[in-house]
């Protein structure tokens, strides 16, 4: 059975809460003589965190008083049975108490290794901020402000192995996500859940929409696609295409971020980057197929990310033809894959979108399937300049 873990914000909050509780625990309460809300007795080496709505007990590696006004706690990330590069990453929380005055009760600061946006804001997103508020605000003594600095000593190095810069997150990792639970979607056991869900959906709706990635759900909603037709795939697109063919589905509309979905055009049907990643090579082959020159091919291969390659293709005037070619090839390869492994014909259409959820290409079969699914035809441009 796959083991669940917790997302990075949970460990940051746990470390901060442990430091705050330790700082406010007798015999060294801050600002002695003032009333505080967090004289909680002996500090254990774990901290209970409200995950909104679940509750988790998070181990604390170390916690120490630095002076009468500040404390530091350290915990280690544990994402469960996920293929996650943050496994065992140390998360430090330095908590300092000061007179509140006109300040808010809680101030969050990005320390070393925690990323910042291009505008300089801390890469601490809404769910993480809600966790900090829920778990720390009740513990902050009256008339005091807690300034929490989150430090990820390995964050800057780890960020170089991600596509954070393409998302506008600079100099480190981000505290993001919509849940505290890290579900082992990369564990093989979870494939069975996806298969069962797909089988149930085909019984209700024979024309299915595969949403690849969480952004796919937002795009599907914007397109007015029926919820009962939408199936999540994780990285197991090939296995679930075959399942759709075996269970009698009529069609599948593939809806996904181009940097993930174009792998199918190269015959890669499990899209986990831990298994295979040839995005730039596949895009380069498409450049050749539409008549691009060697300089365009080199520009794509030298790009650091699929987004950067897309931007370069736009500058060269090749993006529309390249991504049209790729969407058509994805559908063709997917249909052939189902025919080979399920001995069934399954009509497949493909829609590719960028990081902002803007559609950059769709093939003719996707247009037909959108018309089938939608009560009204959305105004879709095949390419947004």
What pLDDT, on the 0 to 100 scale, is given for residue 53?
Answer: 87
Sheet holding 90-99, edge to edge: 62-67, 70-76, 90-99, 144-151, 106-110
Q: What is the pLDDT of residue 84?
A: 76
The confidence score (pLDDT) of residue 191 equals 77
Kindly report the pTM of this predicted structure: 0.59
Residues ≥6 apart with Cβ < 8 Å to 136? 13, 16, 17, 20, 106, 146, 148
pLDDT 10s digits, 260-278:
999 999 999 988 777 788 9
| pLDDT the model gives residue 164 | 72
Tell me what pLDDT residue 366 has: 95
pLDDT along the chain (385 residues), means of 10: 84 97 72 39 71 92 93 94 83 97 96 90 93 96 95 92 71 87 61 86 94 80 90 89 94 93 94 83 97 96 91 96 97 95 95 89 94 58 37
SS3 of residue 348 by DSSP: strand
pLDDT in tens, 314-332: 999 999 999 999 999 999 9
Q: At what angle do helices 279-289 and 319-342 cross, to 10 degrees?
A: 110
Asked if 214 contacts 163 with a C-beta cutoff of 8 angstroms, the reply is no
Integer CA distances (angstroms), 149 to 4, 114, 122, 128, 355, in order: 27, 10, 10, 14, 29
pLDDT, residue 163, reads 61
* Per-residue pLDDT, 176: 84
CA distances from 191 to 2, 197, 215 (A): 11, 10, 20
pLDDT digits (tens, 9 = 90+) for 110-121: 999 999 987 889
| Per-residue confidence (pLDDT) for residue 218, from 0 to 100 | 80
| Chain position carrying tokens 């990453």 | 89
Q: Tell me, what's the pLDDT at 348? A: 97
Question: Residue 212's pLDDT is what?
Answer: 83
């Amino acid at each position: 059975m796959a083991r669940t873990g917790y997302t990075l914000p949970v460990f940051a909050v746990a470390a901060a809460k442990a430091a705050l509780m330790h700082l406010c625990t007798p015999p060294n309460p801050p600002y002695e003589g003032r009333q505080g809300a967090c004289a909680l007795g002996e500090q254990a080496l774990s901290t209970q965190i409200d995950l909104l709505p679940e509750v988790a007990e998070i181990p604390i590696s170390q916690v120490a008083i630095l002076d009468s006004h500040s404390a530091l706690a350290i915990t280690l990330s544990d994402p469960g049975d996920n293929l996650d590069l943050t496994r065992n990453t140390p998360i430090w929380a330095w908590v300092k108490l000061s007179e509140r005055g006109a300040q808010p009760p809680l101030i969050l600061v990005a320390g070393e290794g925690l990323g910042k946006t291009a505008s300089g804001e801390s890469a601490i997103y809404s769910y993480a901020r809600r966790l900090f508020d829920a778990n720390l605000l009740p513990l902050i003594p009256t008339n005091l402000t807690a300034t929490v600095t989150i430090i990820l000593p390995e964050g800057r190095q780890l960020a170089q192995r991600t596509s954070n810069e393409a998302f506008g997150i600079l100099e480190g990792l981000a505290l993001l996500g919509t849940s505290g639970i890290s579900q082992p979607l990369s564990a093989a056991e979870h494939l069975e859940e996806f298969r069962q869900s797909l089988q149930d959906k085909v019984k209700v709706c024979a024309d299915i929409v595969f949403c690849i990635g969480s952004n796919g759900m937002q795009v599907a909603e914007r397109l007015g696609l029926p919820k009962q037709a939408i199936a999540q795939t994780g990285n197991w697109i090939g296995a679930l295409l075959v399942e759709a063919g075996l269970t009698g589905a009529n069609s599948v509309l593939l809806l996904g971020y181009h940097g993930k979905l174009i792998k199918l055009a190269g015959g890669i049907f499990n899209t986990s980057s831990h298994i295979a990643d040839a995005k730039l090579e596949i895009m380069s082959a498409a450049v050749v197929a539409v008549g691009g020159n060697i300089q365009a091919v080199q520009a794509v291969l030298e790009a650091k990310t699929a987004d950067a390659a897309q931007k370069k293709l736009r500058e060269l005037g090749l993006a529309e033809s390249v991504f049209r070619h790729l969407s058509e090839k994805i559908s063709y390869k997917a249909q052939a894959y189902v025919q080979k492994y399920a001995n069934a014909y399954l009509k497949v259409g493909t829609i590719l979108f960028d990081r902002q959820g803007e559609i950059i290409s769709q093939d003719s079969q996707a247009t037909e399937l959108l018309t089938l699914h939608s009560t009204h035809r959305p105004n879709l441009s095949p390419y947004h300049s």
